[in-house]
Structures are given as C-alpha cells and as structure tokens.
Copies of this chain bind each other. A is one copy, B any other.
Amino acid sequence: MKEFDFIRAIQPANLRQSHVIKGIGDDAAIVRTPYHDSILTVDTMVENIHFSRKTVDPFHIGWRALAANISDIAAMGGVPIAYLVSIVVSDNWKEHELIEIYNGMDELARKYNMDLIGGDTVIGQELSISITVMGTVAANGKRYRSHARDGDVVFVTGNLGGSACGLHVLLQDTGNSLTPFKDAIRKHQMPIPNVEFVERCASIKRMALNDISDGIASEANEIAKASNISIEIEPDKLPTHKDLEHFPSELQYQWKMSGGEDFELLGTVSLHEWHEIKKIANQIHVPITKIGSVHYHTERNGKAWIKDNNKLLRLEPTGYIHKTK
C-alpha cells in the first residue's frame, strides 16, 4: 500500500461545517465551537476483539466505530461536529478494504454534516481504529448521569436487544435465509445514534442520559450511582426488538438487559417534562417508552432494581438479578 495514495483517497474534498476553520493539512485542526463548550470522546476498536470480518464488512466496521462515538456525544446532550481517525494497519488488509472502512464512517458522518479533520495512519500487527469525535453543547443542555432525581420517569428510546440478536444470527449463520432477521442485523451493523432526539430536547430543563453501549442493566446502575438515587425498572415494559420473537425468552431477556451496542438512550426526566419529550419523540417518529421510575431511598440508592410483583430485586450491571431482596 502506498501511504500517500491511501491518505489522498480518504481525505475529504470539501468541508461540510462552517465551524471547521482548518481541516486536514497543517499540524492540527481548528474548530470553532458554536456553543463555546466542546465535547470530546475517543474509542478504540481492535480486530477480533471488538469486531470480526465474519460478522461485519469493512464498511460496517467504519460505520459502527463512528456511531459508538457519536452516541457518546448525544448522551452528553451534544451534537457532533468533526472527527479524527487514527488507524493501525496490518498487512492482511487490502487498500480498498481500508478505504471501505473510511467510506462507512463517511456515510454516517454525512447524516450529521461532520467533517473528518485529522488522524494518523501507522503500520502494526493488527488492525485497530481509534476515533476521536468532537461535538458541542449549550451551557444549559448538558445531560449528565448525575442529573436523575427522586420521582423522575425512567425512559428508553427505540427498542432493545436488536444488536445482540443480529450478532448472534451472523455468528450462527447456518446457511438458512437471514431475511427474517434483517432488521436486527442492520441494527448490529449500522446503528443510528440518537442525535436528533437529543437536539430536539434542547428546551428540556433537566435530563439524565446514558447511551446503551453495555446493556441497559449496566447503564441504569451507572445513572443510579452517579445521581445517588435508586432506579426501579419494570421488566415487562422494556421495548423489545421485533426479531427477538424467534428466540427463547431467556435469550430475549439476556439480549434486552445486557446485550449492549443498541446505542439507544436510557434517560430520566421529571414527570412534567416526560410529557414534553413524549411529544418531541412522536414528532420525529422516535419510539420512546417509560420503563420505570427514580426513587430516593437510602438503602437502595446507587443501584438499579427490578420490580417483580411488588418485590424489588437487585439488578446487577451484568444483567444478573438477585432472586431475593
């Protein structure tokens, strides 16, 4: 692979954002922050650990890696502006496959008018992709894990378990038609972060948000801990990806609770503002579901719980439920 040809191939011809003052081509990039506050996040994906060529092609590797980072920006209340990509390339990857990785990122970036503003290409023994995303957020639009309060509604966008189900189907591939699972597969390969929903919620005064990268059990515990409240989830209310109906209920439960990588949002909001965000979600056709409530209870604070016939059972971050109170 000729390094300069490759860099030329992945370099954007134009900038999309007026906020990007200097893109690729100097010592570093310069970005104007419309709201004065910048959001930064970085994630690294390593071949055979975070993805496998068996279940995702290069285009999807790029899409998913960028989606995971954009989802973090959304979960802080922000909108993404630009991204930088550092890639370690091993010699079992062909140039056109690497370009496809960048094409996958670019296809998603286009939805948000994001610019590729920098990066690095180095040689190594295994492919790894490190993406930094910069976004921006208004001073009163920040959505921290620590923002949950007693009495809040706990909600989730979209539905759960699709990504884990899609991965399962791709790994098990027995030669049968994958058509019945095409939505779940798409959810795994090309997840869509919830940027628009977060943007439209700019008028909401207070909201705790986490994106669902590690499964709802894990994210609920993180909010409970950061806000020092208890989160009670009603398991029957969890919205389930439709393709899960083909599988036994234990698998369904596991995928919904701890499958992860759905990149939906788990949030809490006051009852008053819950009616507001339901309206907003309806307007942009984002499904949103009330799945539980927030309580202040000194013995239960800092943890997530499952409501089971008026009993509260401890929900571990892993998705495991203690069968006694």
Interface residues of A (CB under 8 A from B): 21-22, 25-33, 36-46, 49-50, 71-73, 75-76, 78, 82, 84, 86-88, 117-120, 122-126, 128, 130, 132-135, 137, 142, 144-146, 209-211, 226
Give the residue among A118, A137, A210 with the most B Cβ atoms within 10 A.
A118
Can you spell out 25 A-B residue pairs with CB atoms less than 8 angstroms apart? Answer: A21-B142, A22-B144, A25-B145, A27-B72, A28-B41, A28-B78, A30-B38, A30-B39, A30-B142, A31-B40, A32-B36, A32-B38, A33-B37, A38-B134, A40-B84, A40-B118, A40-B134, A44-B120, A44-B130, A49-B123, A49-B124, A84-B132, A86-B130, A128-B128, A134-B134
Shortest Cβ distance from A32 into B: residue: B37
Report A117 CB to chain B, min CB distance, Å: 7
Q: Which B residues touch A146, using CB under 8 A?
A: 26
In terms of DSSP, what is the predominant structure of the interface of chain A?
strand
Report A91 CB to chain B, min CB distance, Å: 13
A126 and B126 contacting across the interface, CB-CB below 8 Å: yes
The 10 closest A-B pairs by CB, nearest first: A28-B41, A27-B75, A130-B130, A27-B72, A44-B86, A132-B132, A46-B124, A42-B84, A28-B72, A86-B130
B26 and A30 contacting across the interface, CB-CB below 8 Å: no
What is the CA–CA distance of A36 and B296 in the complex, to the nearest angstrom? 40
B117 and A40 contacting across the interface, CB-CB below 8 Å: yes
Q: A42-B118, A130-B130 are in contact. Are A210 and B27 (CB under 8 A)?
A: yes
Q: Which B residues touch A22, using CB under 8 A?
A: 76, 142, 144
Q: Which B residues touch A32, using CB under 8 A?
A: 36-38
Among B42, B117, B133, contact of A130 (Cβ-Cβ < 8 Å): B42
Among B43, B126, B132, contact of A125 (Cβ-Cβ < 8 Å): B126
Q: Which B residues touch A86, using CB under 8 A?
A: 42-44, 86, 130
Q: A126-B125, A144-B22 are in contact. Are A36 and B33 (CB under 8 A)?
A: yes
A76 and B120 contacting across the interface, CB-CB below 8 Å: no
A120 and B28 contacting across the interface, CB-CB below 8 Å: no
What is the CA–CA distance of A39 and B78 in the complex, to the nearest angstrom? 18
Report A222 CB to chain B, min CB distance, Å: 9
Q: Which B residues touch A40, using CB under 8 A?
A: 28-31, 82, 84, 117-118, 132, 134
Report A88 CB to chain B, min CB distance, Å: 5
Q: Which B residues touch A119, using CB under 8 A?
A: 42
B137 and A30 contacting across the interface, CB-CB below 8 Å: yes
What is the CA–CA distance of A72 and B37 in the complex, to the nearest angstrom? 22
A123 and B37 contacting across the interface, CB-CB below 8 Å: no
Q: A128-B124, A144-B22 are in contact. Are A31 and B37 (CB under 8 A)?
A: yes
Q: Which B residues touch A42, using CB under 8 A?
A: 84, 86, 118-120, 130, 132
Report A230 CB to chain B, min CB distance, Å: 20
A144 and B26 contacting across the interface, CB-CB below 8 Å: yes
Give the residue among A36, A124, A142 with the most B Cβ atoms within 10 A.
A124
Q: Which B residues touch A46, using CB under 8 A?
A: 88, 122-124
A31 and B41 contacting across the interface, CB-CB below 8 Å: no
